[in-house]
Structure 1
Amino acid sequence: MKKILTLSACILSVCTAQLKAQQTAKYSWSNLPKAAVPVFKTDTFNIVKYGAVADGITLNTKSINAAITACSAQGGGVVLIPQGLWITGPIVLKSNVNLYVSRAALVQFTADKSQYPLVEGNYEGHASVRNQSPVSGTDLVNVAITGGGIMDGNGTGIWRAIGKDRLTDAEWKQLVASGGVVSENGKSWYPSEAYAKGNTIKDVSLIQAGKSLSDYAEYKDFYRPNMVVLTGCKKVLLSGTTFQNSANWCLHTLMCQDVTLTDVHVRNPWNAQNGDAIDVESCKNVLIENSTFDAGDDGLCIKSGRDEEGRKRGIPTENVLLRNNIVYRAHGGFVIGSEMSGGARNIFVTDCTFIGTDIGLRFKTVRGRGGLVEDIYIKNIAMRNIIGEAILFDMYYMTKGGSTLGIKNIPEPTEATPQFKNFYVSNVVCDGAERAILVRGLPEMSIKNIYLENMVLKANTGVQLIEANNISLKNITLETKDTKPLIYVESSTNINLSGIKYTSAEQLISIAGERSANVTLSNTNTANSKNKPDFTSGADAKMLTIK
């Protein structure tokens, strides 16, 4: 009777846990996050009626903003930018306004930097001094940029610095001849002396107590603006428009709710400094679909503030759906981090393609960030010509991640210790990468609960799992050149490798570290490995079970 009661209690406990998990899982693939879409009146306000001239000479800042102000004041509607070349300074959006950029209209933001006053903004998770963004809006409701036209941020040769190694000889000579300043070592070009001076001062853009904006004026050119910045807005729509050549990040939504991007195009040069396509930061209810991003930095990027400042804000990015998107040449195709101190959760990514990106799926953080990233669901991803890792989880972003083998004094986790857990990734095909998979956690905070399933990964090297816990690789085909070992496990526990397919390997698996444990290899043909598993740095054969 006692055994029966014990068994019943266990069953009840498992069922309760499963029910609790179902109740706490807010979304699933059958119940995806949704974003409310703004609705506008049909009243149309043509910028020409407010004095705008498409002659490529006239500065239309006042005319465009006057049309926007009038539209909003009269209850909203459509502000029409017709076909033509429209030179303008910063555009400030207002509530209930749909800024419609007509097909073949080119909105060219002026190269005259005096038109962009210094403002208090936010960049890379910190309150920062910036030049006013070409397009901005704060605390708005019902706002949109639509239409098939082009908005050009004029970043190349005006705002951004660039390294000599990122240009051809002819391009470098032409750039130097245009003006600007070449660094003392001759390896970098800066658009002005003010930029060069700002580049030498640490944290020069951070807003300091007791200082006014005028105190930063001598470094003005260094504070490159993000092209489109929407802060604290509700019901945002970007549709059909091309945003290109941004001075810094291209699209930045900050603390917004109900954000929709559809059929959006971002075109930044591959060498555009900090040329992220879109950064969704501390936002809730987001849909990005059917869009194409060609970026100089990260492509589709999720953020939520940086370090203590981000933790104090405490606003995660949550309830996000990304589908049917293409990313070219970016540093990462889909990215979370590294500024993720406010956390991220309930993120769904499906049916996306990454071509020529540095990394495919990129999840990055570092000690000091803090923040919890959890409940990330990804499926149906195609990649080609990935320069680094096809899939990367890394807690050593911008730092040197040395081996932790033999470490005796593991730090205690604090609020500044980041966490990655509960990632579900399936149906991934990658044709060409340096490494198939890298998972690299911290000794005080391993990366947990990562489920990778149904993949074909062609890469130079295979899989590395370092400081990881409860990692599952199921039905993974690895076609690699370097196979000694094909799979490397270091200081990791509860590793389940099932259905690993490969043609041949010098060594299928290697386990290192006395803190490794419970590694299981099943449904895998070990006969294609020329050498038996090896165990180093305190690892032993008891850590591996082969079924």
Structure 2
Amino acid sequence: MKQLIVLFTCAALTTDYGFSPAALPLHPTTETQKVKRYLITNYGAVGDSTTLNTRAIQSAIDKCAASGGGMVVIPKGIFRSGSLFLKKGVNLEIQEGAVLKGSTDINDYPKINTRIEGHFEMWRAALINADGTDHLRITGTGTLDGSGAPFWKRFWDERARDGKTKNLDVERPRLMLVQNAKDVQISGIHFLNAGFWNLHIYKCSKVVVKNCSFIAPAVSKPDNHAPSSDGIDVDSSQDVLIAGCFFSVGDDCIALKGSKGPFALKDLSSPPVERITITDCIVEKGGGLVTCGSEATIVRDVVVKNSITRGPTVLRLKLRPDTPQQYENILLENITVENGGAIFKVSPWSQYFDLMGQEPPASTVRNVQIKNIHGNAQTWGELFGHARATITDIRVSDAKLQLAEPGLKLGNVEGLRSENVIVNGQQLQLAAFKQNVAIK
């Protein structure tokens, strides 16, 4: 509880989000009229942690939709369930003390043609699925528990048997997938122990995720590490606000994603990721405060501010040699680093890449700013690309850092500038670092 008190105090620091949640359109059935409420226990759901409630909860959802919409309510109790499918007009409230606990039987998550890791394939549905649900509201202070441990073990066992095992070779369910929707708000929910990604937002616009927590084990031992437990994956979406959230996960905290492969820019199912604001967040464990990739094409106009990292990299840009990528107009401002790792991790991402017989495409990183960053970290990190990547106009200003290893693994970067940067009590220029990375 102490952790959450810190979280919500942090969330109150600012309301300058880049776009105003108050300007989002209101849906009459959720905000301006009396809402019909559908309590899942009235439809046969039992909160005893063992009864499988998939049919009972889905029947409440279906009744709500058929009756014109309203709020499906999960009360206090532990309600075990497989995949649930929200419908238009149906909102969800997970009340205090309520736990929607995912089944550990993979067959309780049907195979569907779903967006996963930058493409579509037949894969398992999430615990909560919402498609085309404009004006969706998912609220409350309850918990989504993915019961991830058996899924993680299955993955690590398979990886031990075959070291070439890939992420999607072992089926694991996401906690929540919201796709093809406008005006979505998710607030107060505790995402816990996801089998795979926690919250996947695909092809949505005007999305607010606020005051949520995302927690899954992130330790070095495979028997207690949640692989691919990304906190939030913003996939091919625009106008997204993430505010006042807490992350301690086994993979990227907030990942901005799109398509992949040499033909990615022709993928009409993956519009650019644009106008993303991340503010007042705390990242305790995970791959990075914000990450572009590993599947991504165009990501631009990203603001990250008033946030704290307690270990994860500040900015991570994954540059795939097989994908034309454009990362531009990224601002990180007022960032506190508490016993952190690296400031930059900008480097090639060659895991599982496939050129499909094509020539390597070109990629661009440009106009990246880090302003007013302070605290303790391990190192500057790395800043370089692959042979077809151009990195220009990287600026760091008003930095005051204590670094255990103050070096920077620097490649061919044009326009690297620093102003008022103090490291271990000494002023320095980042461009003075020797360019010591061989480009391949």
Both proteins in one fold, TM over 0.5: yes
2:337 corresponds to: 383
Alignment partners' CA distance in 1, 2:421 and 2:88:
49
Indicate how the Cα distance of structure 1 residues 329 and 317 shifts in structure 2: closer, same or farther if over 3 A, else same.
Answer: same
Match of 2:42 among 45, 49, 70: 49
Among 188, 203, 214, the alignment partner of 1:240 is 188
2:361 to 416, 422, 429: 416
- Give the Cα–Cα distance (whole angstroms) in 1 for the partners of residues 256 and 329 of structure 2: 14
8 Å contact from structure 1 (residues 424, 451) kept in 2: yes
| 2:252 pairs with 1:298 | yes
Work out whether 1:120 is the aligned partner of 2:113. yes
Residues 112 and 509 (structure 1), Cα distance of their counterparts in 2 relative to 1, 3 Å cut: closer
Q: Which has the higher mean CA deviation after the structures are superposed, 415-424 or 248-257?
A: 415-424
Structure 1 counterpart SS, 2:149: coil
Partner Cα separation in structure 1 for residue 45 and residue 400 of structure 2: 54
Query: Could you tell me which residue of structure 2 aligns to residue 261 of structure 1?
Result: 209
Residues in 1 aligned to 2:91 and 2:416: alpha-carbon distance in whole angstroms: 46
Q: Give the match for residue 407 of structure 2.
A: 462
Does structure 2 conserve the Cα–Cα contact (< 8 Å) formed by 1:308 and 1:369? Answer: yes
In the other structure, the counterpart of 1:478 is 423
Identify which range, 233-242 or 123-132, moves more after superposition: 123-132
Give the structure-1-normalised TM-score.
Answer: 0.68
Given candidates 124, 129, 134, the residue that maps to 1:131 is 124
Inter-partner Cα distance in structure 1 for 2:387 and 2:151 = 45
- Equivalent pairs: percent with the same residue? 25
1:500 aligns with 2:428: yes
Of 152, 167, 173, the match for 1:225: 173
2:364 is the alignment partner of 1:451? no
Q: Give, in whole Å, the separation in 2 of the partners of 1:155 and 1:45.
A: 28
Q: Note if contact 2:344-2:380 (Cα within 8 Å) is conserved in structure 1.
A: yes
1:277 offset after TM fit, Å?
0.6
- Indicate yes or no: 2:306 matched with 1:351: yes
| One of 5, 16, 19 as aligned partner of 1:33 | 19
Q: Please show how residues 258-407 of structure 1 align to structure 2 within 5 Å.
A: 258-270=206-218, 271-308=225-262, 310-313=264-267, 314-341=270-297, 343-357=298-312, 359-387=313-341, 389-394=342-347, 396-398=348-350
Give the deviation of 1:225 after TM superposition. Answer: 2.1
* Aligned AA (1:330): G
User: Are the aligned partners of 2:410 and 2:435 in contact in 1 as well (CA < 8 Å)?
Assistant: no
Which residue type is aligned with residue 458 of structure 1? Q
Which residue in the other structure is 1:429 paired with? Answer: 374
Is contact 1:457-1:479 (8 Å) kept?
A: yes
Matches within 5 A, 1:530-545: none
Which structure has greater strand proportion?
2
Is 1:59 the counterpart of 2:52? The answer is yes
What residue identity is the alignment partner of 1:452? V
Equivalents in 1 of 2:284, 2:17: separation in Å? 29
Deviation at 1:501, TM superposition (A): 8.0
TM-score (norm 2): 0.84
Name the CA shift for 1:452/1:113 in 2 (closer, same or farther; >3 Å): same
Structure of greater Rg: 1
TM superposition shift of 1:339: 1.3
Question: 1:125 touches 1:309 (CA, 8 Å); kept in 2?
Answer: no
Alpha-carbon spacing, 1:451–1:414, altered in 2? closer, same or farther (3 Å): farther
Closer, same or farther: CA 76–467 of 1 in aligned 2, 3 Å? same
Instruction: Show the counterpart of 1:13.
Output: none
Equivalent position SS for 1:236: strand
2:320 maps to a residue whose letter is: V
Say if 1:126 and 1:309, in contact at 8 Å, map to a contact too: no
CA contact (8 A) 1:443 1:467 kept: no
User: Could you give the per-residue CA deviations for residues 44-96 of structure 1, whole angstroms, max 9, x where no partner exists?
Assistant: 11111111111222211111111112222222221111101111111111122
Q: 1:346 to 1:512 in 2, by over 3 A?
A: closer
Please state how far the C-alpha of 1:295 moved relative to its aligned partner: 0.9
One-letter identity of the residue aligned with 2:96: R
Tell me if the contact between 2:62 and 2:87 (Cα under 8 Å) persists in the aligned partners: yes
The farther-off stretch of 51-60 and 81-90 is 51-60
Give, in whole Å, the separation in 1 of the partners of 2:281 and 2:84: 28
2:106–2:171 Cα contact (<8 Å) kept: no
Find the counterpart in structure 2 of residue 524 from structure 1. none
User: 2:203·2:271 contact (CA, 8 Å) conserved in 1?
Assistant: yes
Match of 1:252 in 2: 200
Distance 2:153 2:64 in 1: 34
What is the CA–CA distance in structure 2 between the aligned matches of 1:466 and 1:200, rounded to whole Å?
30
**Alpha-carbon distance between aligned partners in 2 of 1:512 and 1:157, rounded to the nearest angstrom:** 45
Structure 1, 234-243 or 299-308: larger mean CA deviation: 299-308
- Runs of 4 or more, structure 1, over 3 Å off, are 158-163, 199-203, 442-445, 508-513
Check conservation: 1:228, 1:250, Cα contact below 8 A. yes
Q: What letter corresponds to residue 60 of structure 1 in structure 2?
A: N
Q: Distance in 2 between matches of 1:86 and 1:117?
A: 19
How far did 1:448 drift? 0.6
Q: Which secondary structure state, in structure 2, belongs to the residue aligned with residue 157 of structure 1?
A: helix
May I ask how many residue pairs the two structures share in their alignment? 402
Give the aligned CA root-mean-square deviation in angstroms.
2.9
Residue 128 of structure 1: how far off its partner (Å): 2.6
Give the distance between the partners of 1:397 and 1:329, measured in 2 at CA: 21
